[in-house]
Amino acid sequence: MRIQKRKKNRFVYGLGICVLLILTWTGVSRAAEEPIQLKLAGSTIKISTFYNGTTLDVTGSVHKDADVVLLVSGPKKDVHLKVKGKVAGILWMNKTDVSLENIPAVYMVYTPAGTGDNLLRPELGIGYKALTGGIAIRPESTDKEFVFAEYVKLMEQSGVYAVHRDAIKYGETSNDQTNFTATLIIPSKMSAGSYRVEAVAIQNGKVLGRTGKELSLELAGLPKTIADLAFGSPLLFGIMAVFIAIATGLIIGVLFKGGGGSH
Amino acid sequence: MIHMYLPIAGNSVNIFLILGLGGFVGLLSGVFGVGGGFLMTPLLMMFGIPPTVAAASDSNQIVGASTSGTLAHMRLGNVDIPMGVMLLIGGVAGGTVGVQVIKLLKAMGNADFLIAITYVIMLGGVGGYMFWESLQGLKKEKIAPVVTAKARPKVQEKKKSFLQRLPFQYNFPKSGCKISLLLPLGFGVLVGILAAIMGVGGGFIMVPVMVYLLRMPMHVVVGTSLFQILFTCINVTVMQSYSNHTVDFVLAVLLLLGSTIGAQIGTAVSKRLKADQLKIMLASLVLLVCVKMMAGLLMTPSIMVALKGGH
């Protein structure tokens, strides 16, 4: 009886190990077959008192015959703009009201070295032109492409819209997968919120696969305390701001009198 | 370079740049008795601060600078409190009317055009007149100071006959005049309306009004203007914070540290300058802003859209 039981146990263990090995092997091969993988150095960026934008390292791997493009985009919102126009034939001024609806607050594209603008194609869902489809304009009669192109120029000034060419570096290739690295630039104008970093694999002009990771920017320390107070108790915040201003004015005034410099 | 993050503006700024900017505007405030909003807001916008946050945080900063400036001028006996109070009451009433005017103009769809034109005409007119007048003053002083001294009372005598007919005559000893209370009240309303339309504190209109229309001595004008600006900006700061959440406290404190010190130095500088020298400098500054605005209106912009909310 005992010998039979031992044999049975051995058989069960053996079967278990076999199943485990098969599962591990398929897992490994699946990973090798994945067209693209992405890893962020961190998923949260803290915005504290002396924050002035930062950088974020990104690593991953892509099928050896494919290229990779990184996209950083973030919360969609409605923006209200003034379009400049000529008044009385000579004066340029903010003339008409226009709203762009459902437009991302942040849109940054990173392309690999040597690809130029080849990968910035709307049919791949990459580049500024790819965004226009999802955006609505009010009033509808306005020239959407023109307003959008000008808005992009405005956003490029603060770095929240950007195309970083030659910004992805390829490394070694193993198991048909090529490693890549990039350093994402997080401008200080990119406000607290949830963003998505997406890696897109492209082969022969087609999207082979895509994967993404969440990136969150959070206020911390003094900026958080101030923002909470300003939005949570705005009246108290306003009165406090006035009192501190008056106190500073008085202190500096008294200090100058103490110094006896002014009269 | 050390940067600080501005939680409400949603951007970071170089600490020394903002301190310097505050110091420069505070200096102007102490010398001329203007809040400096008409300079500060466009400058802050250049450094990536949204227009609404720039304007609201600047008014918070002006509270500090004008407290410091008013205190310094009070010590020198340059603040005419009754006059300031009358101008203030008029200014608040005028501001309320001005806000309604803006609403009406916006509904009619030509508010921006009117605001820009009002700005340029006011800056050009006020600056041009002050410049010309003080230049004449400086010339006369050099050639024949005796003539100037005799000519001025004549002008005042002519005015007196009209002004004395108005009711509620009141003696303003600091300003050295006896005029009707209705006069500063009325001018206050006028400046309040203009200030609300243009979205500024109105110091650079109030100062010429006191100098040329109320005939107050230049040094008392500066002190009284600061006193009036202090209360206007307290109101604006609290209202902006309460209804629009646009007061960036970090930005305001940085500007404050610079401007309160600047205001003290400015007051000391103003004491050493003659009234006509003060006037001609303020006039040049106002004209410079006017030329810059005109250039902005005439040159084709590089970007054809702007975020809504500026003025």
Q: Identify the closest residue of chain B to A50 by CA–CA distance.
A: B4
**A207 in the same domain as A98:** yes
Q: Does A48 touch chain B (CB under 8 A)?
A: yes
Q: Where are the beta strands (DSSP E) in chain B?
A: 3-6, 11-14, 169-172, 177-180, 305-307
Phi then psi for B87, rounded to 5 degrees? -65, -40
CB A180 within 8 A of CB A55: no
Interchain proximity B306–A82, CB inside 8 Å:
yes
Interchain proximity A92–B298, CB inside 8 Å:
yes
Interchain proximity A241–B240, CB inside 8 Å:
no
DSSP B273: S
- The identity of residue A85, as a single letter, is G
CB atoms within 10 A of CB A81: 22
**A122 in the same domain as A95:** yes
- Which residue do the tokens 């975020």 mark? B307
Contacts with A221 from chain B: Cβ below 8 Å: none
Averaged pLDDT for residues B101-122: 72
**A227 in the same domain as A239:** yes
Interchain proximity A227–B7, CB inside 8 Å:
yes
Contacts with A47 from chain B: Cβ below 8 Å: 5, 7
Q: Is residue A117 part of a domain?
A: yes
* Euclidean distance between CA atoms A117 and A103, whole angstroms: 22
**A67 in the same domain as A16:** no
Confidence check: pLDDT of B162 > 70: no
Averaged pLDDT for residues B117-128: 81
Closest CA to A51 of A223, A225, A227, A251: A223
Contacts with A248 from chain B: Cβ below 8 Å: 64, 67-68, 253, 256-257, 260
To test the contact with chain A by mutation, choose from B6, B304, B308, B311 the residue with the greatest count of A C-beta atoms within 10 A, namely B304
Average pLDDT, chain B: 80
Per-residue pLDDT band for A29 (boundaries 50, 70, 90) equals very low
**A157 in the same domain as A49:** yes
pLDDT one-digit tens code per residue, A158-185: 899 999 999 999 999 998 999 999 999 9
Confidence check: pLDDT of B40 > 70: yes
Contacts with A154 from chain B: Cβ below 8 Å: 303, 305-307
pLDDT one-digit tens code per residue, A176-235: 999 999 999 999 999 999 999 999 999 999 999 999 999 999 999 999 999 999 999 999
Q: Which residue in the set B239, B250, B301 is minimally distant from A92, CB to CB? A: B301
Per-residue pLDDT band for B147 (boundaries 50, 70, 90) equals very low
**A57 in the same domain as A176:** yes
Averaged pLDDT for residues A114-132: 90
**A19 in the same domain as A91:** no
Contacts with A219 from chain B: Cβ below 8 Å: 7
Q: Which residue in the set B65, B252, B304 is minimally distant from A241, CB to CB? A: B252
**A91 in the same domain as A117:** yes
Interchain proximity B305–A250, CB inside 8 Å:
no
**A102 in the same domain as A211:** yes
Q: Is residue A115 part of a domain?
A: yes
Chain A 76-95, residues with CB within 8 Å of chain B CB atoms: 79-84, 87, 90-95
Query: Encoding tokens for residue B98?
Result: 């001005």
Interchain proximity B241–A147, CB inside 8 Å:
no
pLDDT score for B16: 94
> By mean pLDDT, which of A6-15, A219-228, B123-132 is the weakest?
A6-15
CB atoms within 10 A of CB B31: 24
Per-residue pLDDT band for B149 (boundaries 50, 70, 90) equals very low
**A160 in the same domain as A252:** no
Q: Which residue in the set B12, B238, B301 is minimally distant from A51, CB to CB? A: B12
Q: Is residue A166 part of a domain?
A: yes
Q: Is residue A5 part of a domain?
A: yes
Q: Is residue A244 part of a domain?
A: yes
> By mean pLDDT, which of A20-24, A146-150, B257-261 is the weakest?
A20-24
Closest CA to B175 of B77, B274, B269, B273: B77
Q: How far is CA A79 from CA A76, A99, A155, B106, B307, in A?
A: 10, 6, 12, 19, 8
Q: Is residue A227 part of a domain?
A: yes
Q: Does B297 touch chain A (CB under 8 A)?
A: yes
**A210 in the same domain as A179:** yes
CB atoms within 10 A of CB A54: 16
Boundaries of domain holding A87: 35-218
Q: Identify the closest residue of chain A to B294 by CA–CA distance.
A: A91
Q: Is residue A173 part of a domain?
A: yes
CATH number (domain holding residue A104): 2.60.40.2550
Confidence check: pLDDT of A59 > 60: yes
Q: Indicate the angle between helix axes B145-163 and B111-143, nearest 10 degrees.
A: 130
Please report which helix (H) or strand (E) contains residue A233, including its range: none
Q: Which residue in the set A95, A158, A252 is minimally distant from B68, CB to CB? A: A252
Q: Does B121 touch chain A (CB under 8 A)?
A: no
Averaged pLDDT for residues B188-196: 81
pLDDT higher at A19 or B191 = B191
Average pLDDT, chain A: 87
Q: Where are the beta strands (DSSP E) in chain A?
A: 36-40, 44-47, 54-63, 67-87, 91-112, 136-138, 161-174, 177-186, 193-203, 206-219
**A127 in the same domain as A1:** no
Q: Does B61 touch chain A (CB under 8 A)?
A: yes
Q: Does A263 touch chain B (CB under 8 A)?
A: yes
Q: How many folded domains does chain A comprise?
A: 3
Interchain proximity A248–B240, CB inside 8 Å:
no
Q: Is residue A263 part of a domain?
A: no
